[in-house]
Amino acid sequence: MAPVISALFLSLYLLFNFVAISSQNDEYDQTTAKTMEAFSGYQIHEPPFQGSFSSLSVDIESLQRQIDELSTFSDTPAPSVTRVLYSEKDVLARRYIKNLMGLSGLSVREDAVGNIFGRWVGSEPELAPVSTGSHIDAIPYSGKYDGVVGVLGAIEAINVLKRLGFKPKRSLEVIMFTSEEPTRFGISCLGSRLLAGSEELTELLKTTVDGQNISFSDAAKLAGYTNNEDLSSVLLKKGSYSAFIELHIEQGPILEEEATSIGVVTAIAAPASIKVDFEGNGGHAGAVLMPKRNDAGLAAAELALAVEKHVLESGSIDTVGTVGILELHPGAINSIPSKSHLEIGIRDIDEKRRNLVIEKIYQSALSISKARGVKLSEFKIVNQDPPALSEDSIIKASESACQELNLSYKKMISRAYHDSLFMARISPMGMIFIPCYKGYSHKPEEFAAPQDVANGVRVLALTLAKLSTS
């Protein structure tokens, strides 16, 4: 009988040692573990988290140092940051992010266009993960916080939870999206659009070139992404994530002016972009009398004022319109403009209201063309993305996090759009805003106070914890 008992104890000893070793690996086989539990009568799975989230501690000195270090990967001198897709500095910055993810114990991978994923595998990895993240590319002569806070802050949020001893049920994944800015190829949110399943974009990228006539495919290859011909592997199915939440500077002045710590975003306004061309007769600026002119430049100016008029007529503070580009040909002071080109952006959280403004602008363009005797040679809607609403469960989780951390907050909309807009197409979405100095963004003066960054990371960490255990 003694040998049998000894063998039994030896079996149990080996079993528990195997479990102890396996539990150190986040990716051990959950089915095997459950079988062992049933056989041995002992619990193998880690018990629910028993700690207190009130002690969430952000290493703000380290995080600020990372923000500063990342800003040095720039094609323009400090304090400005210029980091364009697939440039040498962009590649170096990507390497920096992957290294930080590895140091945080995340499993790192990249897709065919350079979206970077760092995953902390949960205790039930078969469940759809919770994701967070943003972008690190920067338009010329911009600042060092836009997007960056949402990537470095997300990695630090994972570190915060790990230091606390928290173990997620759902896996947590940090995403660094490729090219949120449209700087190089004129396509905004390129990486997240593809993740959201844009098959049209996979086709468009086959013929897309930059200002130096370098194709998207060649640029991606030079950056090390050699498998970018077939982009279908990038597309994700709806439900790939159970939730997505993005931490971001507000890019507006409201939180700072109201001395509020956190903005809980309820909706993201989406832009529609329009290109308009007028053609007139041109002529000598002195010789052609005013009644005989067909001035394409004045047609463009009149349409620009019509944009403002129709936006204000919407009656909503959430409707905005901008004529961001107005070009005249031949562009000489002694020549009547024979051609004009406008690029117009209209944004709103109400898609129907926004589209009505676009229709009114079109009717004005037709009327101006007729009245001034110029040709409306193009009125093209380049993109017309639908707005996105934040998921109620994510809003509530973020609000609850603010309350537990004793941080003031307000619900607000985002008039700038983000990768979250497109992630909303495949998963429930939410955003967390932190104040930024005077609302500055896309300029070197962009700044977020370290304590505000820390507050945002704490709210993000606690929100991720709540979402990962749901």
User: What are the CA-CA distances from residue 372 to residues 294, 297, 298, 299 (Å)?
Assistant: 6, 10, 9, 7
Q: Is the pLDDT of residue 35 over 60?
A: no
32 pLDDT band, cuts 50/70/90, is low
Same domain, 300 and 358: yes
- 265 and 275: one domain? no
Q: Residues 25-47: what's their mean pLDDT?
A: 49
Closest residue by Cα to residue 277 from 354, 202, 382, 186: 382
Q: Is the pLDDT of residue 283 over 90?
A: yes
Within this chain, do residues 258 and 354 fall inside the same structural domain, yes or no?
Answer: no
Q: Which residues pair with 383 in a beta bridge?
A: 273
Q: In this structure, is residue 110 part of a structural domain?
A: yes
Task: Please write down the HEC assignment for all residues of the chain.
Answer: CHHHHHHHHHHHHHHHHHHHHHHCCCCCCHHHHHHHHHHHCCCCCCCCCCCCHHHCCCCHHHHHHHHHHHHCCCCCCCCCEEECCCCHHHHHHHHHHHHHHHHCCCEEEECCCCCEEEEECCCCCCCCCEEEEEECCEEEEECCCCCHHHHHHHHHHHHHHHHHCCCCCCCEEEEEECCCCCCCCCCCCHHHHHHCCCHHHHHHCCCCECCCCCEHHHHHHHCCCCCCCCHHHCCCCCCCCCEEEEEEECCCCHHHHCCCCEEEEEEECEEEEEEEEEECCCCECCCCCHHHCCCHHHHHHHHHHHHHHHHHHCCCCCCEEEEEEEEEECCCCCECCCEEEEEEEEEECCHHHHHHHHHHHHHHHHHHHHHHCCEEEEEEEEEECCCEECCHHHHHHHHHHHHHCCCCEEEEEECCCCHHHHHCCCCCEEEEEECCHHHCCCCCCCCCCHHHHHHHHHHHHHHHHHHHCC
| The predicted structure's pLDDT at residue 417 | 87
Q: How far is CA 304 from CA 154, 343, 388, in A?
A: 41, 10, 27
Asked whether residue 450 is assigned to any structural domain, the reply reads: yes
Task: Rounding to the nearest 10 degrees, give the CA dihedral for residues 343, 344, 345, 348.
Answer: -160
430-434-439 Cα angle (round to 5): 115
Alpha carbons 46 and 123: distance in angstroms, whole number = 8
pLDDT above 90 covers a percentage of the chain that reads 84
Given a cut of 90, is residue 9 above it in pLDDT? no
What global pTM score does this model have? 0.83
Note whether 207 and 186 are within 8 A (CB): no
Whether 31 maps to a domain, the answer reads yes
Q: How confident is the model at residue 46 (pLDDT cuts 50, 70, 90)?
A: low
Could you identify the residue written with the tokens 């597309």? 235
377 and 230 inside one domain: no
Q: Please indicate, yes or no, if residue 145 is contained in any of the structural domains.
A: yes
Q: What is the CATH number of the domain that holds 362?
A: 3.30.70.360
- Tell me the per-residue pLDDT of 167-222, one tens digit each, with 9 for 90 and over: 999 999 999 999 999 999 989 999 999 999 999 999 999 999 999 999 999 999 99
**CA–CA separation, 70 and 93 (whole Å):** 6
Shared-domain flag, residues 104 and 199: yes
CA distances from 200 to 10, 251, 302 (A): 61, 30, 35
Tell me: pLDDT of 25 over 80. Answer: no
Q: How far apart are CA 51 and CA 23, in angstroms?
A: 20
Q: Say if residue 31's pLDDT is above 90.
A: no
Question: 265 and 140 in one domain?
Answer: yes
Do 285 and 256 lie in a common domain? no
Is the pLDDT at 161 greater than 80? The verdict is yes
Whether residue 13 has pLDDT greater than 60: no
Rounded to an integer, the average pLDDT of 153-176 is 97
pLDDT at residue 55, as a whole number: 73
Q: Is the confidence at residue 8, as pLDDT, over 50? A: no
> Total structural domains in the chain?
3
8 vs 252, residue with greater confidence = 252
91: Cβ contacts below 8 Å, ≥ 6 apart? 223, 224
Together in a domain, 242 and 349: no
pLDDT tens figures, 59-81:
999 999 999 999 999 999 999 99
Q: Tokens 């000489």 label which residue?
A: 332
Residue 17 has pLDDT above 50, yes or no: no
Mean pLDDT (the chain, rounded): 91
User: Are 252 and 144 in the same domain?
Assistant: yes
Dist. CA 297–CA 176, nearest whole Å: 42
Q: Say yes or no: 295 and 237 in one domain.
A: no
Q: Cα dist. 103→134, 247, 324 in Å?
A: 19, 21, 42
Same domain, 104 and 190: yes
Q: What is the CA radius of gyration of the chain?
A: 27
253 and 134 share one domain = yes
Average pLDDT of 330-349?
97
For 93-108, the pLDDT digits (tens) are 999 999 999 999 999 9
Give the residue numbers spanning the domain of 443.
Answer: 59-269+387-468
pLDDT per residue over 319-337, tens digit each?
999 999 999 999 999 999 9
The pLDDT value given to residue 194: 97
CATH code (residue 101): 3.40.630.10
CA 261, CA 409: separation in Å to the nearest integer? 6
Residue the block writes with tokens 């449209």 = 182
State the SS3 of 20-69: HHHHCCCCCCHHHHHHHHHHHCCCCCCCCCCCCHHHCCCCHHHHHHHHHH
CA distance 289 to 293: 7
**257 vs 417, which has greater pLDDT?**
257
Confirm whether 14 is domain-assigned. Answer: no
Cα 214 to Cα 232: distance, rounded to the nearest angstrom: 22
pLDDT at 149: 98
